[in-house]
Amino acid sequence: DTEVTQTPKHLVMGMTNKKSLKCEQHMGHRAMYWYKQKAKKPPELMFVYSYEKLSINESVPSRFSPECPNSSLLNLHLHALQPEDSALYLCASRHEARATTGELFFGEGSRLTVL
Amino acid sequence: DQQVKQNSPSLSVQEGRISILNCDYTNSMFDYFLWYKKYPAEGPTFLISISSIKDKNEDGRFTVFLNKSAKHLSLHIVPSQPGDSAVYFCAASTTSGTYKYIFGTGTRLKVLA
């Protein structure tokens, strides 16, 4: 199994809603990432979890709240978002222990629209 | 401040010819570089990587070249195929601490049949 699975694929929410994006991998990877990508822009790093602990937060607003309940799962909780938060949210994972190769494996993304 | 830049937003190449995609970086702490390919509505797919201890890495039709003094890397695709048409991102990271992958702005490659 070499997949990173993200759900839902599409999400539409109002500015007062609370929703969550989910990401799952069963490759035994111990580092998991959230990226945000807007149209015609590169993926921008949001959060990194290493061994289920938050190791990087790229000054992301608190309306985005990450959670890593176990080594296979990564959530992104969304609350009081703004229309400018509409974007493709990408989850990725990496086998932390492998120092010689370090590619990220990406999911297909969750397309979020905030009304 | 864009630490990883791809100065060509788009590139068109005839099928069978060579495609050369370029990437520049500013942070001298970066020592690991990757290329990803992305189709619309899909996540990026890893293509090839290179460590700063090397200046070239090959995998089939794909070759990545690294010029550390110029802080420049390039991806060569030979021969180019219509299925290679996609957006290509370079990414850079340090290999100390938590890997923090920074992506370039992307180049849209179109391979003409």
Chain A residue nearest residue B88, CA to CA: A42
| Per-residue pLDDT at B96 | 76
Task: Answer yes or no: is pLDDT of B50 > 90.
Answer: yes
Chain B contact for A107, CB < 8 A?
yes
pLDDT at B60 over 90: yes
Across the interface, do A42 and B46 touch by the CB < 8 Å criterion? Answer: no
For chain B, helix, strand, coil in percent to 5 are 5, 55, 45
Encode burial over B78-94: b for 16+ CB neighbours within 10 A, e otherwise. Answer: eebeeebbbbbbbbbbb
**DSSP SS3 for B72:** strand
In three-state secondary structure terms, A93 is: strand
Q: Give the model's confidence band at B40: pLDDT under 50 very low, under 70 low, under 90 confident, else very high.
A: confident
- Can you read off the two tokens belonging to residue A104? 């990220």
Nearest residue, CB atoms, A103 vs list B34, B89, B104:
B34
Q: What is the pLDDT of residue B97?
A: 73
Q: What's the CA gap between A93 and A1, in Å, rounded?
A: 13
Q: Average pLDDT of chain B?
A: 93
Find, among A99, A114, A89, A113, the residue nearest to A31 by Cα: A99
- pLDDT on residue A105: 92
Task: Evaluate if residue B94 carries a pLDDT over 90.
Answer: no
Between B93, B99, B103, which is nearest A43 by CB? Answer: B103
Cross-chain Cβ contact A103/B44 below 8 Å: no
Taking the Cβ of residue A103 and every Cβ of chain B, the question of whether any pair is shorter than 8 Å is answered with yes
